[in-house]
Structure 1
């Protein structure tokens, strides 16, 4: 995928300063001798103060990261989850709204624990997925990014785990910042004469030049620049993930008290602060509560002995499984879901009625699988249109005997029935949308 496949931000209402350059791949050189570091830090401090007053949730998160001017290793901005690193030349080239965007961007990487969620995923793709999860959200909330930052609007409302498989493995797009928490730069590129890093050599040369210009000055601007920090250790990742969850909760509480927490950020907080339990475990626990296993004396146990013991009797339950085929659910996710349902139904003796629906029920639906039959995914479910949940519930309500439970696999972005049915409904939701009634399990 080429860079041209990505839509870039542009807004005539907030024109950039004349010094703004391409930041995705070009390095903005740190010409420190021409930049007043105090003035640059003052711009950052002003933007943080305004965020505290106008957006206390985001402002409190931003304040958790100390500001550190970086050496030439930093192209634009960066974070190691402990500090906010910045290229002074880059920050000096931005206007106030763009600086706010960059500050929030780095803080959200930390607050959403992107540094602890990569797992075995490819770093480059994961870094892109994290950026693509944050940037559309900030634009939607009215923040203005620097020029040439890709805003991939099709990822709006999605988290990094959902975006990751949608990114081309061969994408040449670069993240807008540097994610230092698990960065392992090539040592050959990091070293030069005498084993020193390139930015150290550049800073030493610059310091020598400044001393030659002003021999009475003991400290040059270059000596004030931070070196690139080491990646986080596993213990640091665990400790910082816990700390940033606390930061997220406390910042949300302060914003709620100020009456300034709503919109997408309120959804985001609910999503990331809920208990992190696998949906497979929750689904198994939920379905097991409907198993009709009970003891009865109508047929006493045949176990030998003088006492009359009850026998265990099991009754088959009927479950309706509905799948949203509007296009937001991937084939791999549906396959995993079907496999999980199949494993659970074998243990609780459940007959399954499978229904596929987008804005209307598939012409081939429903499919019926008895307790002893394997739940096989049909070759084609159709779909791809809008989402309407009413057809599924209308079909179930028309039956002589309704299902014992309905499980709906969806992103919850659709038209719900006005009234809650009398039978239990379980929503397995991909994304952050809420449901008006029934029980909800988070898929991702």
Structure 2
């Protein structure tokens, strides 16, 4: 069977080479330009018969979820993509595309893996998450970051696949495993800036990590809520057997609470979008005007200012305070940003810098009312990139000052129900969804190395 399969693959590969044998067409394909390749119906039928065999193999596996999910997807051939496969959302369904020139160089296990790879991107909602970060990070950085997350769970990867080990060795990094892709994007952008790498990387005739997800740009315009609903339908029809353990969390999150992010996971996702400061450097030329030697280039120093305001009017318990601060420090530490802790009620009582749990001072006991405006007035006067406000939500109905130039995340304590403000100027989340087993404030609680499966890419 395996010999017959290999022979079939070889014959198809030779036919694929004939299709693109024209010199101008080959050049366009190698530079990943969209070209109109005339593909015979016979080749399409033969190629998709091969794909059907790979699909059947997936369904016969113990974890047949991938096979049933793949069965629902549309299938197309594209010679101009720079990876064995790619995916986007077209015509109310996910469509997977295959480049025969690259795909047919894989063995059957690697073919299965490249299909699983695309399904992982879908379940991680990378199509939406990457769109939110576009413009803040280089395209190559986003692509590599997402592939690091996805490939961590897959076996039988092609030798050129982007993996955490490969990236750490190539760029001399020490990135931790099982982190969200926003974490890897941040770290890789810093490394690429320092190495003065070109944003799009080098052109590769066969596989180019800088353009592996370009096809996502061709997806139909669709909002996040609708895309989640379509994804849930695909998942429901694919749950006909056992599901890999590492997918259960993603699937459960998609189905729970209408896709709403718990505050701590929302913060983790938000951190990747916080714009960090940039510093001038004479070691590189200006990207926009490289011929101008008098203009200095820029490097990201990634020291964004994060303000954490805590209502100490008595509405937030000590236990809630401990849990919240520990979680904030755990999330923010990955991004090496500066944190200012603000204690407030109807006015700001104290504001000080914190780097770890050890820097957190004992809360002052006051019994005053709550006003939000003083904190926003303080933030407006500082170089704040993100304000996280912990409160029971009971304060003014209208802010006396409008937030300027920074993002806002409200976290309502377990004793509160909603935010009194008619205009929040940011996301509002509930503290009750946080899950932390140990509430003691110990330095060992803030992980500095190692990893846990609970730290796999959070999405919802």
When normalised by structure 2's length, the TM-score is: 0.47
When normalised by structure 1's length, the TM-score is: 0.49
Structure with the greater alpha carbon radius of gyration: 1
